[in-house]
A = this chain, B = another copy of it.
Amino acid sequence: MTEPLDVAGLQRRLAEFAAARDWQPYHTPKNLAAALSVEASELVEIFQWLTPQESERVMDDPASAARVRDEVADVLAYLLQLCEVLGIDVLAALDAKIDRNGRRFPAP
């Protein structure tokens, strides 16, 4: 039976994956935050020499589309693992943040 494709299910798969490989000692919040930022930079690297217009078409090329998909997956993987070890509900955190931003940047 497969896990449902949602944040909680993916978080569980990632936790089991790390546990099966004894990776938990490496997964301190500090290390996971660093790994997250490294993956975010690998995403930036794809775009670094592109014009804004070229960056809009990055998914047109199958090889670069696969690379982008791979890197966004890595970013989400570390974000979910970080939130898991810190006990943060990331969806609730974003929901609350959008509310705060609504007050900070009122729509015209």
Q: Which one, B51, B56, B73, B85, contacts A90 given CB within 8 A?
A: B73
For A, the interface residue count at a CB cutoff of 8 angstroms equals 69
Central interface residue in A42, A93, A105, by most chain B CB within 10 Å:
A93
Residues of B within 8 A of A80 (CB): 94
Q: Which of A51-104 contact B (CB under 8 A)?
A: 51-52, 55-56, 58-59, 68-70, 72-77, 79-80, 82-83, 85-88, 90-98, 101-102
Query: Residues of A with Cβ closer than 8 Å to B?
Result: 5-7, 10, 13-14, 17, 20-21, 26, 28-31, 33-52, 55-56, 58-59, 68-70, 72-77, 79-80, 82-83, 85-88, 90-98, 101-102, 105, 107-108
